[in-house]
Amino acid sequence: MQKTVSLRTLACGAALFVVATLSQAQTFNAGAPNCRFAVPVALGKGAAFWIGGCFSGHAEGPGVIRLQPKSGGAPHLFYGSLEEGIPQTGILQLAEDQWQPIWHFDANMNALENTGGNMQVTIDAFRAASKGAYEASIRYSAAGNKTSAAFYARMASRFDKQMNE
């Protein structure tokens, strides 16, 4: 049996693809023009920087989003991985020693926590955070910033230890 697809069906599918692409593109609200990324809502408003790699105009791979809040105070951080500029799994840090394992983010960049109690999901978040912190440490070390390199190396170690507890 041969299936046929009408032009109307193809047009509707193409329109949905364009809408989905446009709505995703609107989430890229930070970064240099050649390395755009979306900032998780929980980090708040402020100047955001990506400490990690870039590919095809987007932040990509393990790293850290560092946001300096407009209200001042300590930076808010997301340690983890990004795919095509979209944060995936990792750890949000909104205050010192206050870590929130994140399984994923919804389309509006709201954090989705591990509500099912699956320990592997939490381990994966800490593993992604450790890789992100380690990547930031390597980049700061290469740039000669020993203080920041040491800070992110310590964070990677702390995330590793958390996975083993």
130-165: pLDDT as tens digits: 999 999 999 999 999 999 999 999 999 999 998 776
Residue 6 has pLDDT above 50, yes or no: no
Interatomic CA distance for residues 115 and 117, integer angstroms: 6
Q: pTM (2 decimals)?
A: 0.81
Query: DSSP letters of 54-88?
Result: EETEEEEEEEEEEEEETT-SSPEEEEEEEETTEEE
CA torsion sign, 153 to 156 to 162 to 165? negative
46-102: pLDDT as tens digits: 899 999 999 999 999 999 999 998 888 899 999 999 999 999 999 999 888 888 999
Specify whether the CB–CB gap between 157 and 124 falls below 8 A. no
Specify whether the CB–CB gap between 24 and 33 falls below 8 A. no
Give the pairing type, strands 35-36 and 57-69. Answer: parallel
pLDDT of residue 138: 98
Q: How far apart are the first and last CA of the chain?
A: 57
Interatomic CA distance for residues 102 and 72, integer angstroms: 24
Closest CA to 141 of 126, 127, 156, 128: 156
Query: Among all chains, which residue has been given the structure tokens 């994923």?
Result: 104
Query: Among all chains, which residue has been given the structure tokens 């994140």?
Result: 102
Interatomic CA distance for residues 32 and 108, integer angstroms: 21
